Amino acid sequence: MKEYLLLLAGFIFLITSGRYLVKSSVSIALRYKVSRLVVGLTVVAFGTSAPELFVSVMAAIENHPGISIGNVVGSNIVNIAMVLALTSVIFPVVVKRKSIVFDWSFMMFASILFFLFILDGYLQFFEGLIFVSLLSGYIILLVHQSRKRQLLENIDIETPDYSPILSFIIVLVSSAGLAFGSDLLVKNAVIIAEKFHVNERVISITLIAFGTSVPELTTSVIAAFRKEMDISIGNIIGSNIFNILGVLGITAIIKKIVIPAATINFDIYWMLGVAVLLFVFLLPFNPGKLTRLKGTMLFAVYCLYVYLLYIKM
């Protein structure tokens, strides 16, 4: 019973800390006059992916590669096939052509590169370095394009919620909360997996992936209710990009990651498949639209994946 309570406590720390990290990070971004779409693709996406980062790094350090890699692959599947699917069921999501052509394409490029890198069964230091370098270039390009567009179109930037000093204090406290929560989560997930004779990969790709994706779900649903679809779709695409290039990149730099055979032979194809399915559902994309029916179909695909995951276990 104790491990379940500690697991729940880990989730609460991750969700609460992630929420305040997002709010404070958005305030910092707005102070530097970054547009809302770029905030969604970078700051919000990276903030909501912070739980994945802390969990994956902690799992790698404690020699649980199944959790480290399964958490990211599972989160990327959950983000599209559950978070974005459920968001579109609440309100159909209209996606601008630019988000599909550039942002989705970059997400797919990162996913394919990830697939190629893990074929040898490892994700190593220099591959992590490539991931982080690509992520840095992507962020610089997005911010540059945003500032250029603001100058051309004279776009107003919202007033930040917090002062600069308070924003940085909240970022530091939230990061500490994420570190503590991820430690609780990893240790007790391993205990539960061993207790029920379930391998770490399955636990991480379902339970942990869902738990660390709660910030994305919350952010996207709130954005949908506020009709801020740029934040909603940008959060998901940006989060998936950060999960691969940021989370796995940083983790691989810290420690070489051993890739489970089941991830290479099964999970990665589902991750690539739901990304392609999202693209197909957004055609024709001028603009693209994710309707309630398409969202329901995406969620059905996720349910099928989880079913097959436990059947093959």
In this structure, are residues 146 and 34 in contact, taking their beta carbons and an 8 Å threshold? yes
Question: Is the whole model's pTM more than 0.85, yes or no?
Answer: no
Residue position matching structure tokens 């051993």: 258
Q: What is the pLDDT of residue 81?
A: 93
Using DSSP bridges, classify how beta strands 257-258 and 122-123 pair: parallel, antiparallel or unpaired: antiparallel
Q: What is the pLDDT of residue 303?
A: 93
Q: pLDDT of 46-91, one tens digit each? A: 666 777 777 788 788 888 877 888 889 998 999 899 988 888 888 8
> How many CB atoms lie under 10 A from the CB of residue 310?
10
Q: What is the pLDDT of residue 191?
A: 80
The residue-averaged pLDDT of 166-178 equals 78
How many domains are contained in the chain? Answer: 1
Distance between CA atoms of residues 291 and 163, nearest Å: 39
Q: pLDDT of 208-241, one tens digit each? A: 887 777 766 776 776 667 666 655 677 788 889 9
CATH number, domain containing residue 92: 1.20.1420.30
203 falls in which pLDDT band (50, 70, 90)? confident
Counting runs of H as helices and runs of E as strands, what totals does the chain give? Answer: 18, 4
Instruction: Please name the amino acid found at residue 179.
Output: A
Q: pLDDT of 117-138, one tens digit each? A: 999 999 999 999 999 999 999 8
The residue-averaged pLDDT of 92-101 equals 72
Q: pLDDT of 237-295, one tens digit each? A: 888 998 999 989 999 999 889 898 989 999 999 999 999 998 888 876 666 678 889 99
Range of the domain at 62: 2-311
Query: Is residue 123 classed as helix, strand or coil in its secondary structure?
Result: strand
Q: Is the pLDDT assigned to residue 7 strictly greater than 70? A: yes
Distance between CA atoms of residues 103 and 237, nearest Å: 7
The residue-averaged pLDDT of 174-198 equals 75
Which residue would you say has higher pLDDT here, 285 or 170?
A: 170
Distance between CA atoms of residues 130 and 255, nearest Å: 15
Which residue would you say has higher pLDDT here, 39 or 188?
A: 188
